[in-house]
Amino acid sequence: DTAVSQTPKYLVTQMGNDKSIKCEQNLGHDTMYWYKQDSKKFLKIMFSYNNKELIINETVPNRFSPKSPDKAHLNLHINSLELGDSAVYFCASSQGPSGGNTEAFFGQGTRLTVV
Amino acid sequence: AQKVTQAQTEISVVEKEDVTLDCVYETRDTTYYLFWYKQPPSGELVFLIRRNSFDEQNEISGRYSWNFQKSTSSFNFTITASQVVDSAVYFCALKRSNYQLIWGAGTKLIIKP
């Protein structure tokens, strides 16, 4: 059973489109995250939710909007996609408030390519 | 400043050699946590180890070992008798007392057969 699953794994879309990436965790964790990994492999946190509440919102264009319907799900919606949005997006989860001192478990990543 | 430095961008060794990946961190926090993650070519991020700032014991897990030294703010990772399957990008990360997670830039490890 996959602990953190995100779909789709690959997403190719045209500039200007709106797309969503879904994430679900079955670990019972309180905290979920979205990360962006650029072509140089640098990992940058975008958002963090704890029990469905937004706790970290880094400097991310407001075209990116996370949605957490319950603490097991954290979806990422992106409006008006731009070429620079092309990257791998990772969902992750960890236990405890703000993730506590525990490690994060990651989904397999979604490779988004904007053409 | 709070940061994690992995000075080695890329390391290439021949199989069966030992290799050490360096991680140096900066933080003013007295309580913090350090992590290593592996990202193989398939792309997923795999958790390897967590260490808290009060536990300076080194850890060994099979061919993997970690050397945590607070005096030098380092948390280095050694792979003994490397194998081709160890080829991956390895990330070191620091979680501060306010739970902010700071990532290093990663070290790409290439193990040649």
Give me B94's structure tokens.
Answer: 């620091």
Domain count for chain A, please give it: 1
| Residue ranges making up the domain that contains A31 | 4-114
Q: Which residue from B44, B50, B106 is facing A109, i.e. has the nearest CB?
A: B44
Give me B67's structure tokens.
Answer: 């050397």
Query: Which chain B residue shows the shortest CA-CA distance from A105?
Result: B47
Tokens 């290799």 label which residue? Answer: B19
- CATH dotted code for B3-112: 2.60.40.10
The three-state secondary structure class of A112 is strand
What confidence score (pLDDT) does residue A49 get?
Answer: 87
Residue B29 burial class via C-beta count within 10 angstroms: exposed 0-12, middle 13-18, buried 19 and up: middle
Question: B43–A99: do the CB atoms touch at under 8 Å?
Answer: no
pLDDT above 90 covers what percent of chain A? 70
Q: Which residue from B52, B91, B106 is facing A101, i.e. has the nearest CB?
A: B52
Contacts of residue A11, Cβ cutoff 8 Å, sequence gap at least 6:
A19, A21, A110, A111, A112, A113
Interface A-B, measured as beta-carbon pairs within 8 A, has a size of 48
Q: Which of B95, B98, B82 is nearest to B19 (CA)?
A: B82
pLDDT digits (tens, 9 = 90+) for A44-57: 989 888 888 887 77
pLDDT digits (tens, 9 = 90+) for B16-66: 999 999 999 999 988 899 999 999 999 999 999 999 898 888 889 999 999
